[in-house]
Amino acid sequence: MDFGFTEEQELLRSEVRKYLDAKCPLEQVRAISEAEGGAGFSPELWKEIAELGWLGLCVPEVHGGAGLGQVDLVVLLEETGRSLFPSPLLATSLAVAALREAGSEEQQARWLPSLADGTAIGSPALQEDADPPTPERVSLVGTPDGDGFVLRGEKRFVPDAGAATLFVVPFRAGSELALAVVERDAAGVSLEAWPGMDLTKRLGRLVLDGVRVGPDAVLAERGDAVFERIVDRATAGLTAEIVGAADGAVVLTAEYAKDRIQFGSPIGRYQGVKHPLAEMYVDVESSKSLLYYAAWALDESPAEAPRYVSMAKAYASEAFARIGIDAVQLHGAVGYTWEFDAHLYLKRSKWARPMYGDSDFHYERVAALGGL
Amino acid sequence: MDLTLTPEEEAFRDEVRAFLDENLPQDANRADPGFVAEWQRKLRAKRWVGFSWPAEVGGGGGSIMQQAILKEEMARRKAPPLGSCFMGLTWVGPAIIAYGSEEQKQRFIPDILDGAYQWCTGYSEPDHGSDLGALQCKAVREGDEYVVNGQKIWTSIAMWSKWIILLVRTSQHADDKHQGITCLLVPMDTPGITVRPIKNMAGGAMFAEVFFDDVRVPVELRLGAEGEGWKVTITALAHERSGIAEVESLTRNLEALKRLAQKTTRGGRPASEDPGVRARIARFETRIQAMRMNGLRYLTKQLRGEPLGSETSVSKLLRAQLEVEMGDFAVEIQGAAGPLVEGAEAAADGGRWQKMALSWPEVVIGGGTPNIQKNIIAERILGLPKD
């Protein structure tokens, strides 16, 4: 039994943190995400992180990646979450996960190398409405057309819709659920980026107006089960960013509580400040533990993965929502200003909470899987 | 990261399971003194009592991982405790092993392992509970004896104990209150000791006040040097501290809570179909698992030889919240039957939930209140200034 990270994973963590602290501190996060008309990420940094191997972390070596697993990905995403790093990295790594779950060797060979080297930007287009993605909620129809399909309809709440060049799109093929890869420049594709509270995370709409997908772009038709596995991996990836960001918010607030003097003493001396911070810390610790176990189970013990993924997402996103609010509140009036950073975490928590199912959704899943 | 057991760990787990299969039948009466005595004798023969203690003093010399496996398997089968002298095994033994004289070790350790009699711990005082370091029960050296005067309180099982491990003040130090505390081992039948049991809100009496009136204690019963008492009592040997056994007991309560929700009706339908009830039970389940996973991470730290700091405060806080909330929720979903206790025809599960709803302070307050745990976490882990 060993429930800790390897030396390589610790090294990965410290390298990622070092890079982001140097290249994308919060001033830079703001500059990138607040840029007028920007796509919400920096193409220069994107190129660099591709060279550092972050984008190909879970891409098999034969396709130009490092061939690592979910636990390694969690380490990377925790750190990008901690830094509130604005980029389509999460979306791209989820597209990679979808291709690995559902794609044939040929399909992986076709798309994974460009996702690994950063020339393509991926996004899983799993939702059509504001409800969590489940197989039942996939209604976009693929009409058979020769050996392929014609897709007509729209996907909404698509991560990084404005930046992505390659989408994984579930659709109905008769009574079956199938998945296809749709590229941005295909005929009939149009995209719309939506404004949101969290400037570091973008959502939007993917409209498919008679988009033809050939048989080579239809990912192995394994129906509902593969869809749920993709969503579980997406949920775990998202949860890693949640946990990292929540940790970042706790550190920021604890540091403020050590510096800010009121009534002649740092406010962190008062239990009214100290105790909420302790609770925030405990929530982050517990979120981490649930997340790490879920990540391990996704690769090594798939039967128990759904239960633990749901526990991790439910617990972490609920905790983060509270932490986001408390972080602002414990800063006092300056927490309400645009200038101080606390609100960045609050906004991230609002973005993350509903993604791939909120706590209500996941706790219900835990109840059902637990025999209730 | 590998959450599976190694072949050696698995072999030990199988040994424990085989022992349980053989010696703890499903229908064993765990309240039968004869059965429990026989059980303790068998455990002792396996050296599973004091399993974490070194073999030289009669312990089991078990590794950290084996301790975790043993405790988890025992808790899962609801086995009687590993040894019957709880305070001796938890507090007194480790302190004697670390600081005791050869004579003290020979005199006390075998009896603790055999459960020959009970020990109690004289730590808290009426004015010094959470702020234990400021304790004032006084001992003055007179020749070869200490003369003790003062009072202890919240002393669990004092009325059934033959010995008490006692913290007394032998000198005053304005700059560091922890200096000047000395540890004594005192027979409870020494003249001048009076025990007065305190009835708790559940109606039972597990703890007591203990008064010391010119109690004379021979110097050879001092544990460690004079003024070293604080250090002596916070000694922890290489104990497994993951909290895994507590997780097992919470898990058992959770399973019982699910069954209660299935047989309790709300609006004519099982409470377990109510979305609010389902969500609350799922939250408990998730938090119990979080506690388990936290424990496994801390266990890994220990196994890797990294120092374990205040992480146990995290486990203690989570457990405290779960104990309080689960008991309360179980009573709440019983509706009008919630306040009824054992003996009432409409009381569910023989009143076990009502007992839980009234007995949580034992584990929630004992050993440091939740607010104290939060102080520890904020100060020692997050580095916030001390109160």
Q: For the domain B244-381, what is the CATH code?
A: 1.20.140.10
pLDDT at B111: 97
Residues of A in contact with B65 (CB under 8 A): 1
Are A372 and B5 inside 8 Å of each other by CB?
Answer: no
- Assess contact for B153 and B126: CB atoms under 8 A: yes
Q: Average of pLDDT values for A4-13?
A: 98
> Chain A within 8 Å of B333 (Cβ-Cβ)?
no
Select which of B72, B73, B125, B240 is catalytic.
Answer: B240
Q: Is B130 on the interface with A (CB under 8 A)?
A: no
For A274, name the nearest residue in chain B, comparing CA atoms only: B378
Burial readout B60-89 (b: 16 or more C-beta within 10 A, e: otherwise): bebbbbbbbbbbbbbbbeebbbbbbbbbbb
Nearest to A293 among B3, B5, B375 (CB): B3
| A262 touches B at CB < 8 Å | no
Domain ranges of chain B: 7-84, 119-231, 244-381
Residues sharing a CB contact under 8 Å with residue A227, sequence separation 6 or more, in sequence order: A126, A133, A135, A138, A170, A177, A179
Q: CB–CB of A1 and B286 under 8 A?
A: no
Nearest C-alpha in B relative to A371? B258
Which residues 228-267 of B are in CB contact (within 8 Å) with A? 258, 261-262
* Helices A89-102/A105-116 angle, 10° precision: 170
Cβ within 8 Å, pair B377-A281? yes
- Cα–Cα–Cα angle for B90, B91, B97, nearest 5°? 100
Dump pLDDT digits (tens) for A210-248: 999 999 999 966 678 899 999 999 999 999 999 999 999
Interface membership of B290 toward A (CB under 8 Å): yes
* Known catalytic residue at B273: no
Q: Lowest mean pLDDT: which of A147-161, A265-279, B166-180?
A: B166-180
Per-residue tokens: A167: 């989408």
User: Contacts of residue B293 in chain A, CB cutoff 8 Å?
Assistant: 3, 286, 289-290, 292-293
Give contacts of A 6-45 with B, CB under 8 A: 6, 9
Question: Would you say residue A282 has pLDDT above 80?
Answer: yes
The alpha-carbon gap from B304 to the nearest alpha carbon of chain A, in Å, equals: 9
Nearest CA in chain A to B64: A1
Instruction: Give the pLDDT score at B216.
Output: 98
Q: Cα distance from A151 to chain B (closest Cα, Å)?
A: 37
Distance from CA of B300 to the nearest CA of A (A): 6
Q: B119-231 belongs to which homologous superfamily?
A: Butyryl-CoA Dehydrogenase, subunit A, domain 2 (2.40.110.10)
Residues B60, B63, B64, B66, CA torsion sign:
negative
A151 and A213 Cβ atoms separated by less than 8 Å: yes
Contacting residues of B for A293, CB less than 8 Å apart: 3, 289, 293, 296
Q: Classify the C-alpha dihedral B197-B199-B204-B209 as positive or negative.
A: negative
d(CA A121, CA B294): 36
CA distance A211 to chain B (A): 41
Does B26 contact A at CB distance below 8 Å?
Answer: no
Residue labelled with tokens 């176990």: A293
List domains and CATH numbers for chain A.
7-120 (1.10.540.10), 124-222 (2.40.110.10), 224-369 (1.20.140.10)
**CB spacing of A296 vs B3 below 8 angstroms:** yes
Q: In chain B, which residue's Cα lies nearest the Cα of A268?
A: B384
Superfamily grouping for domain B7-84: Acyl-CoA dehydrogenase/oxidase, N-terminal domain (1.10.540.10)
Q: How far is B9 from chain A (nearest CA, A)?
A: 8
Residue type, A161: A
What would the 3-class secondary structure string for chain A be? CECCCCHHHHHHHHHHHHHHHHHCCHHHHHHHHHCCCCCCCCHHHHHHHHHCCCCCCCCCHHHCCCCCCHHHHHHHHHHHHHCCCCCCHHHHHHHHHHHHHHCCHHHHHHHHHHHHCCCCCEEECCCCCCCCCCHHHCCCEEEEECCEEEEEEEEEEEECCCCCCEEEEEEEECCEEEEEEEECCCCCEEEEEECCCCCCCCEEEEEEEEEEECHHHEECCCHHHHHHHHHHHHHHHHHHHHHHHHHHHHHHHHHHHHHCEECCEEHHHCHHHHHHHHHHHHHHHHHHHHHHHHHHHHHHCHHHHHHHHHHHHHHHHHHHHHHHHHHHHHCHHHHHCCCCCHHHHHHHHHHHCCCCCCHHHHHHHHHHHCCC
pLDDT digit string (tens) for A194-211? 999 999 999 999 999 999
Angle in degrees, CA B247, B249, B255, rounded to 5: 100
Please give the Cα distance from B68 to B166 (Å, whole number): 30
Q: Residue B145 contacts by C-beta under 8 Å, 6 or more apart in sequence?
A: B216, B217, B218, B219
Task: List, for residues A311-340, the tens digit of each pLDDT value.
Answer: 999 999 999 999 999 999 999 999 999 999
Contacts of B1 in chain A (CB under 8 A): 2-6, 9, 71, 292, 296
B286·A2 Cβ contact <8 A: no
Is A256 in the B-facing interface, judged by CB distances under 8 Å?
Answer: no
Shortest CA distance from B254: residue in chain A? A370
Confidence (pLDDT) at B239: 64
Please tell me if residue B269 touches chain A, with a CB cutoff of 8 Å: no
State the pLDDT at residue B345: 87
Q: Does B288 touch chain A (CB under 8 A)?
A: no
Is residue A299's pLDDT more than 60?
A: yes
Chain B: nearest CA to A19, how far in angstroms? 24
Residue type, B55: A
Instruction: Quote the crossing angle between the two packed helices A342-352 and A223-259, to the nearest 10°.
Output: 160
Mean pLDDT for back-to-back runs of 10 residues, chain B (387 residues): 95 97 91 92 96 94 93 90 92 93 97 96 91 93 98 96 97 88 98 97 92 98 96 71 85 95 94 97 98 94 87 92 96 94 89 91 87 95 94
Q: Do B382 and A254 touch (CB under 8 A)?
A: yes
How distant, in Å, are the alpha carbons of A94, A328, B214 from that of A350? 20, 13, 65
What residues of B are in contact with residue A273 (Cβ under 8 Å)?
384
Residue B319 in contact with residue B362, Cβ under 8 Å? Answer: no
Residue A90 pLDDT level (bands cut at 50, 70, 90) = very high
Cross-chain Cβ contact A293/B293 below 8 Å: yes
